[in-house]
Structure 1
Amino acid sequence: MYLPQSFAETRREVLDALLRAYPLATVLLSGADGIVANLVPFELDGPRRLRGHVARGNELAHADGAEVLLLFHGPQGYVSPNWYPSKHATGREVPTWNYVVVEVRGRLRVIDDAQWLRAFLECLTDRHEAGLPQPWHVGDAPPDHIETSLRAIVGLEIAITGISGKFKLSQNHPAANRAGVVEGLRRRAAPGDAELADLMVRAEESRDGP
């Protein structure tokens, strides 16, 4: 992806945090019929591996050994030039879009193993059910239903060969404009605006240092 240096995020702990907070990835695979895209939730398993699962009919289930590209999207939103103090002083500003995305490149391994799948699904659901008043567990479903469901899917393992982040958070603007964007996002309060504003504030704190 196009990655100006001012928007590059290289800190692995920051990239991993986004993968965990926004685990649904767009997976791009180049196949015989061209490029195909699928949405798959993944679990980060250490620094070099992602785990997921798909239906047996999915193109990814038949692409063992293939190289894949994954895009994990975080908060995003339109930025109005009216939020920039500089616009009111000079008028020389235009709209833009702020967003964060992590790009992962890796090699796909397809896993057709019911024991592996059950252990993975227990881990996956336990994490996403945590905090709910009555968490659902794999064992809550009838055993025959779980067995049937497991036969309908395969596991995916991505060996990570490269990872990079693009955090476009108005870094190319002066501090007053960045503060104006944060204020504008909080005032608009559209879906994702609060999360995007929080990211900008954390980036500002990181820029300022301890």
Structure 2
Amino acid sequence: MYLPTHFSEHKKEVLHTLITGNPFGALVTHGPAGLDVNHLPFELEPNTGALGVLSAHASKNNPLLNEVKHLDEVLVVFQAGNAYISPTWLPSKKDTERQVPTWNYKVVHAKGRIKLIHDEAHVRKLVAKLTKRHEASMERPWKISYAPKGYISELLERIFLIEIEITDLVGKFKLNQDDGAKDMVGAGTALKELGEHNIGDAMLEAAKNL
């Protein structure tokens, strides 16, 4: 990933926050058939290992099971929004006209070594944890115990656990930092007025630190 210094983010806590807030990641692998991408919800264990451990599950019918080997290096990409930026939103344009459209975004790349685990107890634990996290905001949270025990066991037999110990973690938060705080505020405010609060808020917050 091309990573100019002014867009780079290396603080582990900040990157972990983005992952937990946007857990649907793109798992990039390279096996005998070439490059492949699987889109999966991940659970992050931030205090395991130096940079954390990612866990997910997938169907045993997924070719991934046979395409990757134990401890192959893989990449998981997480994104926390993106937005088109019009030059008309940048105050500096009025002074110089030296501005063009761009695209802002926040992403995290997590590299690591993959493990494929078939232990049902571990798979059940992960599924329960994912369910608890994502049902927490529901009025009446659903629990695995609500479904017939045999039915759940049958489904768990069809999936396997993916575990990735993160060995490299880097973020790119492209928010017009190279244009200065004034332009960041101008564009961030314009985005929020259009209802694009994710990147708009991020730009306004980042502008405070310039």
TM-score (norm 2): 0.93
> How many Å separate the matches in 2 of 1:126 and 1:142?
17
> How many Å separate the matches in 2 of 1:136 and 1:16?
26
Letter in 2 for 1:53: H
> How many Å separate the matches in 2 of 1:149 and 1:202?
44
Question: 1:171 aligns to what?
Answer: 177
Per-residue CA deviation, residues 144-173 of structure 1 (Å, 9 max, x unaligned), is: 110111011000100111000000011001
Counterpart check, 1:201 vs 2:204: yes
Question: 1:9 aligns to what?
Answer: 9
> How many Å separate the matches in 2 of 1:167 and 1:28?
20
Deviation at 1:48, TM superposition (A): 2.2
Aligned runs of 1:5-154 on 2, under 5 Å? 5-46=5-46, 47-62=51-66, 63=68, 64-154=70-160
Letter in 1 for 2:200: A
> How many Å separate the matches in 1 of 2:176 and 2:140?
41
> How many Å separate the matches in 2 of 1:60 and 1:73?
22
Letter in 1 for 2:33: D
Contact kept in structure 1, 2:184 and 2:204, CA below 8 Å: no
Contact kept in structure 1, 2:192 and 2:201, CA below 8 Å: no
Secondary structure in structure 2 of the residue aligned to 1:121: helix
CA RMSD of aligned residues (A): 1.1
Deviation at 1:174, TM superposition (A): 2.0
TM-score (norm 1): 0.93
Per-residue CA deviation, residues 62-85 of structure 1 (Å, 9 max, x unaligned), is: 323221011101111000000011
Deviation at 1:120, TM superposition (A): 1.2
Deviation at 1:139, TM superposition (A): 0.7
Structure 1 window deviating more from structure 2 (23-32 vs 56-65): it is 56-65
Equivalenced residues, count: 204
Unaligned residue ranges in structure 2 (runs of 5+): none
Contact kept in structure 1, 2:189 and 2:204, CA below 8 Å: no
Unaligned residue ranges in structure 1 (runs of 5+): none
Runs of 4+ in structure 1 deviating by more than 6 angstroms, as ranges, are none
Deviation at 1:40, TM superposition (A): 1.0
Per-residue CA deviation, residues 177-207 of structure 1 (Å, 9 max, x unaligned), is: 1111111101222xxx2011121222233x1
Secondary structure in structure 1 of the residue aligned to 2:122: helix
Deviation at 1:15, TM superposition (A): 0.3
